[in-house]
């Protein structure tokens, strides 16, 4: 199974976007498919405000997520790549890869996290994600092309 396909990947410049904007936009494909609802997106933003930059999981990488909510239909992942950095809270947390993870329970997302981790710890693949100029190029990293 491919971790991310083109339908769940977006690109934007990111100019003049806040971290809230980036999180909201990253969730858009999941909202469009009705896999999640706006309450989950709002919960992610609220939790981030309360707990700080725990979603900044590596250089240039955000994994936006929160506890499961009943409105989440399945474990899912989406990606927004920005060509410009967007700061989480302050300039110590710049990001360009905005992953949005949702899960309906405490375990169904484990496989997604394992697959994502395998890609992100591979420096070559991480650099490909950061350098990608198209949604196709981003999708190819996840499909192994």
Integer Cα distance of 46 and 59 in angstroms: 23
88-137 pLDDT per residue, tens: 877 888 999 999 999 999 888 899 999 999 999 999 999 999 999 999 99
Integer Cα distance of 60 and 127 in angstroms: 11
130-142 pLDDT per residue, tens: 999 999 999 999 9
Greatest mean pLDDT among 67-76, 83-92, 125-134 lies in 125-134
Contacts of 55 (CB under 8 A, 6+ apart): 48, 62, 63, 64, 65, 88
Integer Cα distance of 53 and 99 in angstroms: 14
The reported pLDDT for the residue numbered 1 is 60
- For residue 85, count other CB atoms closer than 10 A to its CB: 12
């Amino acid at each position: 199974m491919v971790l991310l396909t083109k339908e769940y990947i977006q690109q934007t410049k990111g100019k003049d976007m806040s971290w809230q904007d980036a999180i909201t936009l990253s969730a858009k494909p999941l909202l469009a498919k009705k896999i999640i609802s706006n309450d989950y997106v709002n919960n992610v933003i609220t939790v981030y405000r309360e707990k700080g930059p725990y979603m900044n999981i590596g250089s240039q990488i955000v994994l936006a997520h929160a506890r499961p909510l009943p409105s989440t239909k399945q474990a899912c992942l989406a990606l927004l790549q920005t060509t410009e950095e967007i700061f989480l809270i302050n300039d110590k947390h710049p990001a360009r890869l905005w992953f949005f993870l949702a899960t309906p329970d405490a375990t169904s997302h484990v496989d997604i996290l394992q697959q994502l981790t395998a890609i992100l710890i591979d420096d070559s693949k991480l650099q490909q994600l950061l350098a990608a100029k198209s949604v196709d190029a981003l999708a190819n990293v996840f499909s192994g092309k």
